[in-house]
Amino acid sequence: MKYLVAPLLALASVALHAADLPHAAPVPGGVAVIALEGGGEAPRAYFNRERVMVLKKARQWLAVVGIPLDTKPGTYAIQVQHGDQQQTRVNFTIQDKQYATQQLTIKDKRKVEPTVRDLRRIHRESKIMNAAFAAWHDQAEVALQFDLPAQGPLSSPFGLRRVFNGQARNPHSGLDIAAPAGAPIHAPAPGRVVAVGNYFFNGNTVLIDHGQGLITMYCHMRKILVEKGQLLARGDVLGAVGQTGRATGPHLHWSVSLNNARVDPMLFLSPDTLARSAEK
């Protein structure tokens, strides 16, 4: 197996087309954009045994890699396969990032310490959501610049180390938007609905497949207005903001998953969207 490092010319190509890509942030919970050698047909790339998005920008193949939150800093590699050629490894560096801690008080203690019956339900629901996050379908063009799915202040950011009623829990795997109850939730980019349901922690939830392992999730909704399998255009209404599941108030929890790794949704916001959100 060969080891390769992306050439400087290719890296310049990445910078040139950054406007078409998520913001590159090779940190835990971030996104790495890696230039690949070779032309011709699209190569296949893998990270942590998960297939990785590969796109062509100005005759340059790029791997767009989601990095799990629990990844430690260091040198890693993606495996790249060009047709029947020998598989190669392309090294890249993941840098450190520290996330803040958030203390929350939940009145419904079952949402912190579920019963045995609750745990069985949570297990069933996790299998559904995990299957949706692992979904893959080939798609040459993928929209990587998102709009905000709801209008409101950005409250709890991605990556917070959460403590519920004094008990440490998993880090915050999405971005919370403090939109009022009943406010519309819009698709931030084209996609297909791959799961809908009412889940123990997430409440009324929708998951959308945008192609090549890019999945978004919308939680705590008051109502759902789409169905599994439905094709969506950018801006289509998914439902309304609510407070279902484990929530201390009305808001939208928005998650972005890339190659089955939950990553910071802010990295996918278009420059115009970022500028507008900063003004609020």
**One digit per residue, pLDDT tens: the chain, 280 residues?**
444 544 433 344 344 445 589 999 999 999 999 999 877 888 999 999 999 999 998 888 999 999 999 999 999 999 999 888 878 999 999 999 988 766 656 666 666 677 899 999 999 999 999 999 999 999 888 999 999 999 999 988 898 875 555 554 567 889 999 999 999 999 999 999 999 999 998 999 999 999 999 999 999 999 999 999 999 999 999 999 999 998 888 999 999 999 999 999 999 998 778 777 766 5
pLDDT for position 159 = 86
136 and 269 housed in the same domain: yes
Phi-psi region of 131 (alpha: psi -120 to 50; beta: other; left: phi over 0): alpha
Residues 180, 111 share a domain: yes
Could you tell me how far CA 153 lies from the centroid of its own chain? 20
Tell me, yes or no, whether 74 and 158 share the same domain. Answer: no
- At residue 13, the pLDDT reads 39
Residues 57 and 139 in one domain: no
**Is 161:168 a contact under the CB 8 Å cutoff?**
yes
pLDDT for 221: 98
Predicted local distance difference test score (pLDDT) of residue 61: 93
For residue 66, what is the domain's CATH number?
2.60.40.1590
Interatomic CA distance for residues 263 and 258, integer angstroms: 7
Question: Which of these three, 75, 94, 113, is where a domain ends?
Answer: 94
36: domain range? Answer: 2-94
Please identify, among 94, 111, 131, the residue that sits at the C-terminal boundary of a domain: 94
Say whether both 124 and 17 belong to one domain.
no
122 in the same domain as 58: no
Q: Say whether both 248 and 271 belong to one domain.
A: yes
- Letter for the amino acid at 113? E
- Cα Rg of the chain, angstroms: 19
Residue linked to tokens 């990095």: 67
CA dihedral (139, 140, 145, 151) positive or negative: negative
Beta carbons within 10 angstroms of residue 9's beta carbon = 9
Residue 7: the pLDDT is 40
Domain stops at, among 94, 126, 158: 94
Contact predicate 155/177, CB 8 Å: yes
Q: Tens digits of per-residue pLDDT, 191-203? A: 999 999 999 989 9
Q: Is residue 142 located within the same domain as residue 258?
A: yes
Place of tokens 């939150």: 69
Mark whether 85 and 189 lie in a shared domain: no
The candidate with the shortest Cα–Cα distance to 237, out of 250, 248, 253, 221, is 221
Task: Give ∠ CA 223-226-228 in degrees, rounded to 5.
Answer: 120
- Number of domains making up the chain: 2
